[in-house]
């Protein structure tokens, strides 16, 4: 989604803003622009296209001024074109803003402005807000008061930064629903949508809360207040990751780097938590809700996209280890059907970014209905992490590739430990607990072994790069892996792919099978192995092409499948973790073969902060 950067300090603003925008590119965008304040005026340069095009065509890095704002836009209102790109100015061209979010009542405000004689230059809700602030400035004579008054009338969401040539030594940031972080450097400030655009300058940050504003001054002072003008106390926090975590480190793409990070990220998710001897788990972030967990009658997990797939695996894990009924809900649907929440229900939100608007709305609904609401989130300090009663961080580090990979396996790492913890509270024996804990501990080395054989997957990818469709099939706990494999392929290679429980194939999708249909099976050795082999035979009998993900040493599958990708043997409940790695690699190498932009696939945003 949109990315925001703002800088005020002693240095030239434009190069800093440009670098910040490059760091935010991963969020997904279609236009970019910069505004600087200098010599009593503001200057805006913006256009549809990439940040590199902005620099090349409009030479933004040489824009003068030590105060400025920049933006990468992911279109919501109005097509991606030059006028709709941000920053937007007010009618007097003295106030400019960048905005992430949606102003829901922008048509009402727009009508008010037009009636008062103002003309709009774009189709965006954000320009309406800029012009509205300008109109209110005429009445109040203060940028801060004008911003406050405008935001008081706005319905919807915003993360925004405002600058003005009328008050060149002040910059104002505000948020409601869309993230905004303030970096506090020595004698300088940098606002950004996330910490990755700040870390090159300072590690000290304030995560703004909803309905909070930060007013920063060139002299190094700053205050935070509510939009209603009450003082707030803002804790200064330290960014936890290192700069190299958001750089490619010699890999061709962030996605590949993140796939290869998984032995480490998985280990980080276990560190200090897994208790091998006791066959148990210690999740410090859940201590405060231990009683609620012990008495929970039902668990509802809510999430979107890849995180929703992790939740489906979580359902199997929790039901089989802890015997608590679990329901998995699309966060985007949850609140619109008046969900039934009972007093002993525990609701868990899973999110990499911690900012997904639908997931946030779902947890607010669950909280309002009295559930204990927990979070499994990657981004520290994110809104979902803050709005949940208790939770567990994934510790996967920044995920920059738009297609989620390491966050998915980290989600499975946390869900497995959570299920083990619940199981041990509710009658799962120490021996069973130990067996699972030991297997979990062995997972990082097993992921590493899969990664040592990437060439095999790359070769298969070359053979299928021109396919138009794919089917992904799995059964039981591996069905969600099939869904996830299909999603990965769709997102980054634009090949149509569908995931199904393997036995459902004969209820419809089997009609699609012919020589042009590659079918990826998760066919590891477990209780239903024979059944899945029968499903493979059904595909082969109709000339479909089979790529089987199999347990190491399974010689039989080599005779029935066209290609076999082996993964190490593990506990059946942990197979999804290992099986998802070749799926990620297959999608990656197919996308590379097709010349797709793997890290920034078309139309996608990393963090979906609009509903
Ligand atoms: C797919 C992907 C998305 C996200 C979804 C939820 O690769 O990344 O489907 O999983 O948008 O995002 P989070 O987990 O940030 O809430």
Are 54 and 142 contained in the same domain? Answer: yes
Q: What H or E segment, with its residue span, contains residue 374?
A: strand 372-377
DSSP assignment of 390-452? EEEE-------SSS--HHHHHHHHHHHHHHHHHHHHTT--HHHHHHHHHHHHHHHHHHHHHHT
pLDDT, tens only, 144-200: 999 999 999 999 999 999 999 999 999 999 999 899 999 999 999 999 999 999 999
Are 404 and 305 contained in the same domain? Answer: yes
Mean pLDDT of 369-391: 94
Residue 50 is predicted with a pLDDT of 93
State the pLDDT confidence band at 276, using cuts at 50, 70 and 90.
very high
- Distance (Å, whole) CA 376 – CA 392: 5
Are 75 and 191 contained in the same domain? Answer: yes
Residue 509 is predicted with a pLDDT of 87
Give the distance (Å) from ligand 1 centre to CA of residue 458.
25
To test the pocket of ligand 1, the residue of 312, 328, 356, 362 to mutate (highest count of ligand atoms within 8 Å of its CB) is 356
Give the distance (Å) from ligand 1 centre to CA of residue 304.
6
Q: What H or E segment, with its residue span, contains residue 565?
A: strand 563-567
Nearest CA to ligand 1 atom 8: 404
Give the distance (Å) from ligand 1 centre to CA of residue 132.
34
Residue 95 is predicted with a pLDDT of 98
The catalytically annotated residue of 2, 304, 413, 596 is 2
Residue 298 belongs to what domain range? 247-450
Respond yes or no: is residue 304 known to be catalytic: no
Nearest CA to ligand 1 atom 5: 305
Are 446 and 469 contained in the same domain? Answer: no
Atom of ligand 1 nearest to the CA of 353: 15
Give the distance (Å) from ligand 1 centre to CA of residue 457.
24
Q: Show the tokens assigned to 355.
A: 């900012």
Nearest CA to ligand 1 atom 10: 306
Residue 608 is predicted with a pLDDT of 80
Residue 1 is predicted with a pLDDT of 75
Mean pLDDT of 33-46: 95
Look at residue 321 and tell me whether its pLDDT is greater than 80: yes
To test the pocket of ligand 1, the residue of 306, 357, 384, 388 to mutate (highest count of ligand atoms within 8 Å of its CB) is 306
Atom of ligand 1 nearest to the CA of 608: 11
Atom of ligand 1 nearest to the CA of 356: 16
Nearest CA to ligand 1 atom 11: 305
Give the distance (Å) from ligand 1 centre to CA of residue 373.
20
State the pLDDT confidence band at 315, using cuts at 50, 70 and 90.
very high
- Quote the longest CA-to-CA distance of the chain: 80
Nearest CA to ligand 1 atom 16: 351
Give the distance (Å) from ligand 1 centre to CA of residue 350.
10
Give the distance (Å) from ligand 1 centre to CA of residue 54.
28
Atom of ligand 1 nearest to the CA of 607: 15
To test the pocket of ligand 1, the residue of 193, 304, 406, 414 to mutate (highest count of ligand atoms within 8 Å of its CB) is 304
Vertex 9: Cα angle to 4 and 14 (nearest 5): 50
Of all residues in the chain, the percent with pLDDT exceeding 90 is 90
Q: Which of 209, 239, 269 is the last residue of a domain?
A: 239
Are 229 and 289 contained in the same domain? Answer: no
Residue 119 is predicted with a pLDDT of 95
Respond yes or no: is residue 606 known to be catalytic: yes
Are 494 and 433 contained in the same domain? Answer: no
Closest CA to 31 of 16, 44, 14: 44
Residue 296 is predicted with a pLDDT of 94
- Distance (Å, whole) CA 467 – CA 497: 10
Q: Provide the CATH number for the domain around residue 256.
A: 3.40.50.10490
Are 66 and 102 contained in the same domain? Answer: yes
User: With the C-alpha atoms ordered 416, 417, 418, 421, is the resulting torsion angle positive or negative?
Assistant: positive
For the chain, the straight-line distance linking the first and the last C-alpha, in angstroms and rounded, comes to 12
User: With the C-alpha atoms ordered 491, 493, 494, 497, is the resulting torsion angle positive or negative?
Assistant: negative
pLDDT, tens only, 502-518: 999 889 888 999 999 99
To test the pocket of ligand 1, the residue of 334, 352, 391, 497 to mutate (highest count of ligand atoms within 8 Å of its CB) is 352
pLDDT, tens only, 222-237: 999 999 999 999 899 9
Look at residue 28 and tell me whether its pLDDT is greater than 90: no
Q: In what order do the strands lie in the sheet with 326-330?
A: 326-330, 298-303, 345-351, 372-377, 390-393
Give the distance (Å) from ligand 1 centre to CA of residue 210.
22
* DSSP one-letter code for 468: S
State the pLDDT confidence band at 39, using cuts at 50, 70 and 90.
confident
Residues 6+ apart with CB under 8 A from 190: 5, 6, 7, 9, 16, 20, 182, 183, 197, 198, 201, 202
- Distance (Å, whole) CA 437 – CA 391: 21
Atom of ligand 1 nearest to the CA of 605: 11
Look at residue 606 and tell me whether its pLDDT is greater than 90: no
Give the distance (Å) from ligand 1 centre to CA of residue 408.
9
Closest CA to 494 of 605, 408, 598, 607: 598
- Name which of 243-252, 279-288, 316-325 the model is least confident about: 243-252
For the chain, give the mean pLDDT. 95
Residue 424 is predicted with a pLDDT of 97
To test the pocket of ligand 1, the residue of 608, 609, 610, 611 to mutate (highest count of ligand atoms within 8 Å of its CB) is 608
Q: Show the tokens assigned to 367.
A: 């909280």
Give the distance (Å) from ligand 1 centre to CA of residue 607.
7
The catalytically annotated residue of 50, 257, 446, 606 is 606
Residues with CB under 6 A from ligand 1: 304-307, 351-353, 356, 359, 403-404, 487, 491, 607-608
Are 232 and 274 contained in the same domain? Answer: no
Give the distance (Å) from ligand 1 centre to CA of residue 601.
13
Q: Which of 450, 474, 494 is the last residue of a domain?
A: 450
Are 174 and 37 contained in the same domain? Answer: yes
Residue 489 is predicted with a pLDDT of 98
Q: Provide the CATH number for the domain around residue 55.
A: 3.60.20.10
Are 40 and 145 contained in the same domain? Answer: yes
Are 423 and 437 contained in the same domain? Answer: yes
Atom of ligand 1 nearest to the CA of 606: 8
Nearest CA to ligand 1 atom 9: 305
Atom of ligand 1 nearest to the CA of 305: 9
Q: How many domains does the chain have?
A: 3
Give the distance (Å) from ligand 1 centre to CA of residue 308.
8
Q: Which of 397, 431, 450 is the last residue of a domain?
A: 450
CA distances from 369 to 330, 336, 364 (A): 17, 13, 9
Atom of ligand 1 nearest to the CA of 379: 15
- Distance (Å, whole) CA 112 – CA 109: 5
Task: Note if the bond before 326 is cis, omega within 30 degrees.
Answer: no
- What is the value of pTM for the model shown? 0.89
Nearest CA to ligand 1 atom 3: 305
Mean pLDDT of 77-84: 89
Are 421 and 463 contained in the same domain? Answer: no
Stronger pLDDT, 26 or 524, i.e. the higher one: 524
Atom of ligand 1 nearest to the CA of 488: 7
Look at residue 98 and tell me whether its pLDDT is greater than 80: yes
């Amino acid at each position: 989604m949109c990315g925001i950067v703002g800088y005020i300090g002693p240095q030239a603003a434009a190069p800093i803003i440009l670098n910040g925008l490059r760091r935010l590119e991963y969020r997904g965008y279609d236009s970019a622009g910069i505004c600087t304040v200098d010599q009593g005026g503001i200057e805006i340069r913006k256009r549809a296209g990439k940040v590199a095009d902005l620099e090349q065509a409009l030479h933004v890095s040489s824009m003068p001024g030590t105060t400025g704002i920049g933006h990468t836009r992911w279109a919501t209102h109005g097509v991606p074109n030059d006028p709709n790109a941000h920053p937007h100015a007010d009618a007097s061209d003295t106030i400019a803003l960048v905005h992430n979010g949606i102003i829901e009542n922008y048509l009402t405000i727009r009508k008010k402005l037009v009636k008062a004689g103002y003309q709009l230059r774009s189709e965006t809700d954000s320009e309406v807000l800029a012009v509205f602030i300008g109109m209110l400035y005429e009445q109040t004579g203060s940028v801060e008061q004008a911003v406050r008054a405008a935001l008081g009338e706005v319905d919807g969401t915003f993360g925004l930064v405002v600058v003005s040539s009328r008050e060149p030594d002040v910059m104002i940031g505000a948020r409601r629903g869309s993230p905004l972080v303030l970096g506090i450097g020595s004698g300088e400030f940098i606002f950004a949508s996330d910490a990755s655009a700040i870390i090159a300058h300072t590690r000290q940050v304030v995560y703004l809360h909803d309905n909070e504003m930060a007013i920063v001054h060139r002299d190094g002072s700053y205050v935070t207040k509510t939009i209603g003008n009450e003082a707030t106390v803002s804790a200064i926090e330290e960014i936890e990751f290192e700069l190299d975590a958001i750089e490619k480190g010699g890999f061709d793409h962030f996605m590949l780097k993140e796939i290869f990070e998984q032995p480490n990220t998985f280990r980080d998710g276990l560190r200090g938590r897994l208790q091998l001897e006791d066959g148990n788990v210690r999740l410090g972030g859940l201590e405060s809700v231990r009683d609620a967990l012990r008495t929970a009658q039902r668990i509802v997990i809510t999430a979107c996209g890849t995180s929703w797939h992790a939740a489906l695996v979580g359902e199997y894990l929790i039901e089989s280890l802890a015997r608590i009924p679990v329901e998995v809900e699309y966060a985007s649907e949850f609140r619109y059907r008046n969900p039934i929440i009972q007093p002993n229900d525990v609701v868990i939100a899973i999110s990499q970014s911690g900012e997904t608007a639908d997931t946030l709305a779902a947890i607010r609904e669950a909280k309002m209905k009295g559930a204990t609401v927990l979070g499994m989130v990657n981004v520290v300090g994110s809104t979902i992490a803050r709005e949940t009663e208790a939770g567990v961080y994934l510790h996967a580090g920044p995920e920059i590739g738009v297609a989620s990979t390491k966050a998915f396996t980290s989600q499975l790492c946390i869900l497995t430990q959570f299920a083990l913890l619940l199981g041990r509270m509710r009658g799962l024996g120490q021996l069973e607990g130990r067996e699972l804990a030991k297997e979990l501990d062995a997972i990082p080395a097993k992921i590493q072994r899969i990664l040592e054989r990437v060439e095999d997957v790359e070769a298969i990818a070359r053979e299928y790069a021109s396919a138009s469709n794919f089917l992904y099939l799995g059964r039981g706990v591996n069905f969600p892996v099939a869904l996830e494999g299909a999603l990965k392929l769709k997102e980054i290679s634009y090949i149509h792919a569908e995931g199904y429980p393997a036995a459902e194939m004969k209820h419809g999708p089997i009609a699609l099978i012919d020589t042009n249909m590659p079918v990826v099976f998760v066919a590891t050795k477990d209780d239903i192995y024979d059944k899945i082999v029968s499903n493979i035979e059904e595909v082969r009998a109709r000339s479909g092409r089979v790529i089987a993900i199999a347990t190491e040493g399974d010689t039989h599958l080599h005779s029935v499948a066209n290609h076999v990708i082996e993964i190490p043997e593990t506990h059946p409940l942990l197979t999804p973790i290992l099986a998802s790695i070749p799926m990620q690699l297959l999608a990656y190498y197919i996308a590379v073969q097709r010349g797709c932009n793997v890290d920034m696939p078309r139309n996608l945003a990393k963090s979906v902060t609009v509903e």
